[in-house]
Amino acid sequence: MKKFRKVLDGLTTSPGTIGSPTCGSAASTPTAAPTPREIDVQEMLVSENFQICKTVRHGFPYQPTALAFDPVQKIVAIGTRTGGIRILGRPGVDCYCQHESGAAVLQLQFLINEGALVTACADDTLHLWNLRQRRPAVLHSLKFNRERITFCHLPFQSKWLYVGTERGNTHIVNIESFILSGYVIMWNKAIELATKTHPGPVVHLSDSPKDEGKLLIGFESGTVVQWDLRVKKADFRIYYDEAIHSVSWHHEGKQFMCSHSDGSLTMWNLRNTTKPFQITFPHGKVGKDGRKESCKPILKVEYKTSRNSEPFIIFSGGLSYDKAGRRPTLTIMHGKAITVLEMDHPIVEFMVLCETPYNNEIQEPYAVVVLLEKDFIVVDLTQSNFPIFENPYPMDIHESPVTCTAYFADCPPDIIPILYSIGAKNKKTGYSQKEWPVSGGTWTLGSQTYPEIIITGHADGSIKFWDASAITLQMLYKLKTSKVFEKPKPSEGRAADLAEEDPFAVQMVSWCPHSRVFCVVGISAHVILYRFSKYDGNTQIVSLDLRLQGDGEDPVSPSETENNPCFSDPSCHSPQHPPASPGCGTPDGAKDSNQCLKVKSRPVRMPPGYQAELVVQLLWVDGEPPQQITSLDVNSAYGLLAFGNCNGLAVVDYIQKSILLCMSTLDLYGAADPYQRLTRSPRKNRQSTSDFCMRGLSNFYSDSKKRIRTSYQSLTELTDNQVSMDMERSKSPTSVPYPTSIHNDPRILPEPVASLRASHYSPVFYLLDNVKGPGRKLSLPTDLKTDLDHVNGHCTSPTSQPCSAGKPRLPVGPEGPRLTRRGPGRPPFRKAQSAACMEISLPVSHTEGYASRRAMLQQLHGVSMYSHDEHHTTSYCWTERESRENSFSRSRSSSVSSIDRDTKEAVTTLQFGESYGRKNDALPSPCLWVGTSLGVALLIPISIPTDHEERLEEALTVGPSGGVLMLKGSILRFASLDCGGSLIQSPYEVWRDPNAPEDPDRPRRRKLVNFSPSSSQEACGDGHLAVVCSEKQAKVFLMPSQTCLFVHNITESSFVLRADVVSVCNSICLACFCANGHVMTLSLPSLRPLMDVNYLPLTDMRIARTFCFTNGGQALYLSSPTEVQRITYSQEMCDNLQEMLGELFTPIETPEAQNRGFLKGFFGGNAQNVDREELFGEAAAGKASRSLAQHIPGPAGMEGMKAAAGGVVGDLARARIALDERGQRLGELEERTALMMTSAETFSKHAHELMLKCKDKKWYQL
């Protein structure tokens, strides 16, 4: 615990003297408001409170490759292409492991009922995993040097693993020591000496159910050999014309079935192996000409017997080639019935679950586990219609690509049950009534649990609410935003090019759990506000339309200005349907004032749950689509909704359904603009850019369609060197050329604004600085010149020769003609993109530098920076004297900074709350904090009536003339603290059901919960602390004096992507995630560094888009297009994580083998056992060649594993397991002893009775 004391004497010091940059407003004046003489804050957090680690991963394993099932433990393992392993049991038992090499997992083999797993990877390495701990780890590894692994087989209750290779050889590995045996089955010995061709790789290995000493080896070419392990020779060889994909035994060991590449199944009998006794083409029909249809390969077949019915033959593939467009199938042949199950995705692997683990007993199959490319299902075989089981795991996160995430911890306790009850009404039906068969492991609810909710937005406009309490994930409720709009009609011509495949894609959400007000921003520049109700409703959805567009290049008449809500008086209300701009003479003028989507005009019946109340849409202007919305906030206590983009800010009163404010970002400054902006005359000849915009938008839509609808395999095929903007435009679904140089006419603007206003575009990632005055050159580090001069074939620096003439260099390829339609000086614009489809790789060597920051923020913020212009050729110079340390520092001259280029200042963050809008305010009032991409924080006071009736009728006033604060880099987050260091929550309205029946005796009134800065202070005028965090630094200001108390430069070599003020250990801190992968926490209010961990190198934009912090020291991000990774940075949670995770292994008695009776054993029905140790041990087989494979011990072998799972928790867990096993054995011994005693007493009784009966009889009478 540390105590920070800040004594403020008079507070007359210039704000610019604290910290490196200017801390206060350039136009600010000394305040007369009362201020505290002393701020006494006791900070509770220290570095020991923080530790970062992964907690759990949810979702479907991305790019699965392998599947395994333990029939005794009843757990399933899934391997992936990236080297990951997911082990699943009963709900709550979900474990993720990762191979350090990252090599794809080829095959998985459980050591049945032994708590271990063998993995074979694409780098020809075998790994043995210990599952008898909550965090599995590798015990041993074996790296093959000269041969490639193709197939593995581990017999039940055996410690010898058979390994087939690409050369056709079969090696044997001891599982206990993980060392190769000297026993090798060479391919040239397995086949006949007369055979001149190589049989191909080993594709199958299995021991005979009848004799463990016989090994069946299947080669890819169609050769099958049964090898006698004892005498080391082949019993028989089968040569078939078609390639073999899989082999499956009958449980009696007298026959087996093969699947082939021509879509056939062959049945072989061991009595006659010269030819198959049965050949079937399950899906091959004979045509009229007598020819059979050619069929696709049957990739796998399983032949399982049943005691009371016909055997099951289950296989994947085998469909005829002429049936194009058919989906992948799983075929179940049961007697004469053939059932074909069509799958939504290609089948990766399937396994039949049977009652017994022994391969020489009747199998009794009861389910089929099917692993698809993007799904995981289990089919019930016990019912004739083969229904599927309801999956308890959250495997459908990626049902539609995830585009945004939000994480809320410590929610109101009643929100989860009510969301679940409403969501349960819409659940699918038709599932199997039986219990989910993957039921292994144990999991108990931890002691430290609190309500947590994760919200995911998707490309199809759907939104899912997930219960994330106690490190589990369960779907609560699904909302479809597309139901608010009419279905888009099919278009023709150019309109067809503009047709958005996913026009409802969700970009961001804002949710108040207390008031249950929910706000959604869509990709079509629309905002939807929802209210929660437990009752049905028949509601008329109110639609508001507004223009939030920069000025056009043509002179605008005063009459147009009066009709344009963006530049009219700030306090006026925008008309609901603004008229089209009469100045647009382009063919796309019909698009003026049009909506991207059409809201349903009729009353809409809405089921219980979230019901749409208001839709706000941005309109097309001059044939140009609206800019993407970049920031959003909603406040239920004020009844206000605010959003902004790179053009300006809009504030909507959703209670009165009116627009309060619609202004460009520049107009928000008024006379307090910290920049000196140079006015520019309009261009003489205006070239239409509407066609370019439409073409660019259609390019985005087509790319979006390709990226979202394509297979997930293509998402990770981008390499680190593919970082050019050309690649990004072609690969990303959000690459959109968009005009950014939009000019204003100063003649039609008010005098104070005319001298300051110019079109400006936000370099979200750079603030061009060290400007000594108008017309001066801007400077940046010289090491960026080569990276930034030419991006995607376009010259980005006017110092380059082609650009000095104002002619951009055009790329070569299909994008070239499209870009030639762009108007002069109108660079491309990048739209916000689907988080699930972002795989933009970055060069590792530049991850921490500015070049990567530029490329990443072009993706993250949806903007690109271009500086060439035909009519303005002021050059930028790149000087060596600018270093990375001072490249972001602003000029401290009286002229402040000057921006004389085409820049747009985007609104990057918004926050409603109680604060002091002006320096001379004595009492706090409702305010809106506005953060921009130029590092400016604006404070806009709002006048809201306190009376309930007045609030419903009187108009609110917004005065954009409050304080101006400045930081380095784009503003990311605001927060308010009282002078005691506690977080001040935003006020909210207590939830009331809008559709509840009216009570005439008790009229419904709004009940507000207000956290005013003065409510927790002794003196009314003590003010509060404002925390402002940008992508480069964080500052703490004292309000209302706007004095900077603390400043901390978070990073110089990188930039912050996400920041939030969160609660940890009953205190608060500022948590930041940087682009170089560092996760940092800073104390509040002193901004003292508490933790800085290089945790997650940022290699794609999906992580940047979806990373979010929450209370309790937790965070999450989308680790792949299908998986959500949760992490914690709290030491307390790391310590308790072992208790929260599930146990993968539980002590279970291995089922005994079935007694087959005396007669079957007498006539050879029982399986013959073999002493494999005698055959494969070092004494008999010798040692294997050291050069063949290299043994790699795990973390110090078993000792390392004990240390990894050590500590009190690990020791207690091991002791508990040992006690459970010992108690179980003692219980079994006690039962057997009691049974023997009962048998002995019975025998003694019968013997005594027989003795009494025969005692008096002669011997001949017996």
Can you give the pLDDT at residue 844?
A: 39
pTM greater than the 0.95 cutoff = no
Can you give the pLDDT at residue 1211?
A: 62
- What's 143-164 look like in SS3? EECCCCEEEEECCCCCCEEEEE
Can you give the pLDDT at residue 843?
A: 38
- Reduced to 3 states (helix: H, G, I; strand: E, B; else coil), residue 619 is coil
End-to-end CA distance of the chain: 98
* Residue 139 · residue 130 · CB < 8 Å: yes
Q: How many residues does the chain have?
A: 1262
Can you give the pLDDT at residue 417?
A: 93
Nearest to 524 by CA among 919, 817, 832: 832
Q: Which residues contact 178 (CB under 8 A, 6 or more apart)?
A: 126, 128, 139, 140, 141, 142, 1191
For residues 330-342, one letter each, b for 16 or more C-beta atoms within 10 angstroms of the residue's C-beta and e for the rest, the string is: bbbbbeeeeeebe
* Residue 484 · residue 526 · CB < 8 Å: no
Residues in the chain with pLDDT values less than 50 = 1-37, 493-495, 552-590, 680-854, 858, 861-902, 1016-1021, 1159, 1162, 1196, 1198-1208
* Residue 754 · residue 561 · CB < 8 Å: no
Can you give the pLDDT at residue 903?
A: 60
| Residue 1092: Cβ-neighbour burial (10 angstroms; 0-12, 13-18, 19+) | middle
| Per-residue model confidence as pLDDT tens digits over 620-671 | 887 788 889 999 999 999 999 999 999 999 999 999 999 999 998 888 887 7
Kindly provide the residue ranges of all beta strands, DSSP E only, lying in 1051-1121, ordered along the sequence.
Answer: 1056-1064, 1067-1074, 1078-1083, 1089-1094, 1108-1110, 1114-1120
User: With left for phi above 0 and alpha for psi between -120 and 50, is residue 951 left, alpha or beta?
Assistant: alpha
> Interhelix angle for 1131-1140 vs 1207-1254, to 10°?
20
The span from the CA of 315 to the CA of 238, in Å, is 22
- Reduced to 3 states (helix: H, G, I; strand: E, B; else coil), residue 224 is strand
Nearest to 354 by CA among 91, 71, 133, 114: 71
Can you give the pLDDT at residue 905?
A: 87
Can you give the pLDDT at residue 556?
A: 32
Tell me the two tokens of residue 926: 């409702």
Nearest to 742 by CA among 725, 730, 759: 759
Q: Which residues contact 338 (CB under 8 A, 6 or more apart)?
A: 282, 331, 332
Can you give the pLDDT at residue 620?
A: 86
Q: Which residues pair with 317 in a beta bridge?
A: 298
Can you give the pLDDT at residue 537?
A: 87
Strands 526-533 and 517-522: what pairing? Answer: antiparallel
User: With left for phi above 0 and alpha for psi between -120 and 50, is residue 1065 left, alpha or beta?
Assistant: left
Give 238-288 as a DSSP string: EE-SSPEEEEEE-TTSSEEEEEETTS-EEEEETTB-SS-SEEE-TTPPB-T
Tell me the two tokens of residue 132: 């008898």
